[in-house]
Chains A and B, each alone.
Chain A
Amino acid sequence: MRIGRTLALAKKEWKRILREPAFLFIIILFPVMLTVAFGTSFGAVGGAQSASLSTAVVSLGGNSTYSQEFARDLQTTGALDVRQLLDNQSAQSALSQGQVQAVILLPSNFDSAVKSFESYPDDPSRWTNSTVSVYLDKGSILSAQVIPTIVVQVLGQGVLGVKPSTQALPFTLSTPSTVKVQGTSVFQSFAPGLFAFASIYMIMMVAQAYSSERENGLLKRTLVTPTTSGDIVMGSVVSYLVIGLVQAILVFLCVYALGYHPVAGPAGLLVGFFVVTVFALCNIGFGLITAAIARSAGAATGISFVFLMPQLFLGTFVGIALSSTAQAAGRFLPAYYVTDALTSLFTRGAAVTSPTVMTDLFVVSTCSVVILIAGVQVFKGFANR
Chain B
Amino acid sequence: MQKQETLTAVAISIEGLTKDYGGMRAVDNLTLSVAEAEVFGLLGPNGSGKTTTINCLTGILRPTAGMVRVGGFDVQKETGKAREIMGVSPQETAVYPYLTGRENVQLFGELYSVKRESLGERVDQVMEKVGLIEVAGRKVSKYSGGMRRRVSIAMALVTDPRIILLDEPTVGMDPQARREVWDFVMELRDRGKTVVLTTHYMEEAEDLCDRVGIIDHGRLIALGSPADLKAEYGARDLEDVFIQLTGRRIREGA
Q: Is the CB of B111 within 8 A of A226?
A: yes
Q: Which of B82-129 contact A (CB under 8 A)?
A: 83-84, 86, 88, 90-96, 98-99, 103, 107-108, 110-113
Is A217 positioned at the interface, with any CB of B under 8 Å from its CB?
Answer: yes
Q: Is the CB of A218 within 8 A of B111?
A: no
Is A384 positioned at the interface, with any CB of B under 8 Å from its CB?
Answer: yes
The smallest beta-carbon distance between A375 and chain B, in angstroms, is 21
Question: With A19-B98, A20-B98 in contact, do A227 and B92 touch (Cβ < 8 Å)?
Answer: no
Q: Is the CB of A5 within 8 A of B60?
A: no
Within 8 Å by CB of B92, from A217, A222, A223, A231, lies A217
Q: Is the CB of B98 within 8 A of A218?
A: no
Q: Which of B118-155 contact A (CB under 8 A)?
A: 139, 155
B113 — which chain A residues lie within 8 A by C-beta?
2, 4-5, 226
Question: With A217-B94, A220-B60, A220-B94 in contact, do A226 and B80 touch (Cβ < 8 Å)?
Answer: yes
Taken residue by residue from 197 to 225, chain A's Cβ proximity to chain B (1 for < 8 Å, 0 otherwise) reads as: 00000000000000000001110111111
**Which residue on chain B has the smallest CB distance to residue A384?**
B60
A contacts with B, residue count (CB < 8 A):
23
B61 — which chain A residues lie within 8 A by C-beta?
384
Q: Is the CB of A225 within 8 A of B90?
A: no
The 8 A-B pairs at the shortest CB distance, nearest first, are namely: A217-B92, A8-B110, A217-B94, A224-B58, A221-B94, A19-B98, A225-B111, A218-B94
Q: For chains A and B in complex, what number of residue pairs have CB atoms within 8 angstroms?
A: 65
Q: Is the CB of A15 within 8 A of B99?
A: yes
Q: Is the CB of B99 within 8 A of A12?
A: yes
A227 — which chain B residues lie within 8 A by C-beta?
111
B112 — which chain A residues lie within 8 A by C-beta?
225-226
Q: Is the CB of B58 within 8 A of A8?
A: no
Q: Is the CB of B96 within 8 A of A12?
A: yes
Q: Is the CB of A224 within 8 A of B98?
A: no
In the bound complex, how far is the Cα of B100 from the Cα of A15, in angstroms? Answer: 10
Q: Is the CB of B96 within 8 A of A218?
A: yes
A20 — which chain B residues lie within 8 A by C-beta?
98
B95 — which chain A residues lie within 8 A by C-beta?
218
In the bound complex, how far is the Cα of B113 from the Cα of A305, in angstroms? Answer: 38
In the bound complex, how far is the Cα of B139 from the Cα of A20, in angstroms? Answer: 11
Is B59 positioned at the interface, with any CB of A under 8 Å from its CB?
Answer: yes
The smallest beta-carbon distance between A5 and chain B, in angstroms, is 6
In the bound complex, how far is the Cα of B109 from the Cα of A226, in angstroms? Answer: 11
Q: Which of A1-56 contact B (CB under 8 A)?
A: 2, 4-5, 8-9, 12, 15-16, 19-20
A16 — which chain B residues lie within 8 A by C-beta?
96, 98
Q: 23 A-B Cβ contacts within 8 A?
A: A4-B110, A4-B113, A5-B111, A9-B111, A12-B107, A15-B103, A16-B98, A217-B90, A217-B93, A217-B94, A218-B96, A220-B60, A221-B92, A223-B60, A224-B58, A224-B60, A224-B86, A225-B83, A225-B108, A226-B84, A226-B111, A227-B111, A231-B111
In the bound complex, how far is the Cα of B58 from the Cα of A217, in angstroms? Answer: 14
B99 — which chain A residues lie within 8 A by C-beta?
12, 15
